[in-house]
Amino acid sequence: MNNEKKISKIFTNQIFFLSSLIIILGIIATIFNPRFLSLQNLVNILQQNSILGIVAIGATLVMISGNFDISVGYMVSFATCVISVLIYKGFNIFFSVIIGFLICVLCGLFNGVIIAKTRTPSFIITLASMSIFYGASLIVSGGASHSLGGKFSTLGRDNLFNVIPYNIIVMTIIFILVYILLRFTKFGRRIYAIGGNEAAAYLSGVDTDTTKILIYIINGALVGLASLVLVSKLGSAQPTTGQGIELKAIAAVVIGGVPLTGGKGTAIGTFLGVILTGLISNILNILNISAYYQQIVLGVIIIIAVIVSNIGGIRRK
């Protein structure tokens, strides 16, 4: 009986499920197109999803705490527009980049304070702030695209020693740091506690308001970092630059095993969720399948992932 439980636990484990699915899809893709396993293609998958990965790991912290932030897409737009406009007008690159990064940190602080102090559902607050950030993007940019003129391209386009792209390095470092934060720190345990049962966490001595605010500040900082990578990669920005990235990030986090109610999840799960979404897109591109179908496939994968992650809970009931 114990062996059956152990086997059941393995096969309903999100990490095992995602790893197996990634391997199976990789084998299928290689059968249809041997180019899939080329080093260049594998690097391309990581590189193309590095920005999503950075945003998704921030969303992981927020969602484990039982909250949401659907404003991150237009937060990216706001920051990239500010950076591109400042550089376009001749301001120092370092100054422009720091201002763009700090804007995201302040946006995170803005969301966090309102959510923590008013007890208003995070979905509603970040829905409203999404509109605010989009409006700010339009005001700053004048609704137009601004080019960086080839400046600040290293972070998004260049490679370390002409081998490893800098954006992959940044994403990897962020995932490692967040893994350590969630796995080994008191702050990480507080995030899980708030997501599991906020009232119980408060009664056990956790400063829930401060923890929530810090979570949103960290999320803002990670979005700011993703904004720097994105604007460096694109070489320009417009008010819709970050549009839709919030939904992809939430999808990757849910696929990675974080329930919408919070309290559970890992950085490794989110990383695999990001890889899986990127893998699906890459496979469909290699097979010359229309981008329209990619959204359908991604939706099906999300449904399957959510069902698998909840099988254990269903059985207990």
124-158 pLDDT per residue, tens = 999 999 999 999 999 999 988 888 888 888 888 88
pLDDT digits (tens, 9 = 90+) for 182-191: 999 999 999 9
- pLDDT, position 84: 94
pLDDT digits (tens, 9 = 90+) for 241-251: 998 899 889 98
Q: Are 273 and 252 in contact (CB under 8 A)?
A: yes
pLDDT at 309: 59
- What are the backbone dihedrals phi and psi of residue 4, each rounded to the nearest 5 degrees, phi first? -65, -40
Q: What is the CATH number of domain 17-311?
A: 1.10.3470
Tokens for 263, please give them. 């309290």
pLDDT reported for residue 179 = 96
What the block records as the tokens of 315 is 């059985």
pLDDT digit of tens for each residue in the chain (317 aa)? 455 454 445 445 778 888 888 899 888 888 887 888 888 888 888 998 999 999 999 999 999 999 999 999 999 999 999 999 999 998 999 999 999 999 999 999 999 999 999 999 999 999 999 999 999 999 999 988 888 888 888 888 888 887 789 999 999 999 999 999 999 999 999 999 999 999 999 999 999 999 999 999 999 999 999 999 999 999 999 999 998 899 889 989 988 889 888 899 999 999 999 998 888 888 888 777 777 777 787 777 667 766 765 665 544 44
Cβ burial 57-83 (10 Å sphere, 16+ → b, else e): bbbbbbbbbbbbbbbbbbbbbbbbbbb
Q: CA-CA distances (angstroms) from residue 229 to 147, 170, 171, 280?
A: 15, 9, 10, 23
> For position 311, what pLDDT does the model report?
60
Question: What residue segments make up the domains of the chain, in order of their start?
Answer: 17-311
- Put simply, whether the predicted model's pTM sits higher than 0.75 gets the answer yes
